[in-house]
Each structure stands twice: as C-alpha cells, then as structure tokens.
Amino acid sequence: MNVSDVWDWDFFWSMFRNFMATASPFVMIPVVVIVVGMLLTVIIRAVAGARK
C-alpha cells in the first residue's frame, strides 16, 4: 500500500514554517529572559566568589 500520495508534505512544511514564523518572536521573549537571568546569576556568583 503506497501512502506517499496521502500526505501533502509541502503543505505540512509550509504550515509549520508559517507557525514558526508567527510564534518564534513570542517564544524568544521568555528564552531571552531566562538566558539573561542565568548570565546575571553566573556573574553575581563570580563576583561574590572573588570577594571571599
């Protein structure tokens, strides 16, 4: 049974690309907040460790 004609992969990929183009700015905001928080934590710990 050949099911290759059942799935329209070009359509699926174009919908996935459209979803990612729409959602990626909203996903990047929390990611940037988390990364900046981690970076600040590392810097604060390094400064506090250097003072001891």
The pLDDT value recorded for residue 10 is 85
The pLDDT value recorded for residue 3 is 65
Encoded tokens for 10: 């070009």
Encoded tokens for 19: 């979803």
The pLDDT value recorded for residue 34 is 97
Tokens 């940037």 belong to 32
**Quick one: CA torsion of 24, 30, 36, 40, rounded to 10 degrees?**
-170
pLDDT in tens, 7-52: 777 888 899 999 889 988 898 999 999 999 999 999 999 999 999 8
The pLDDT value recorded for residue 38 is 98
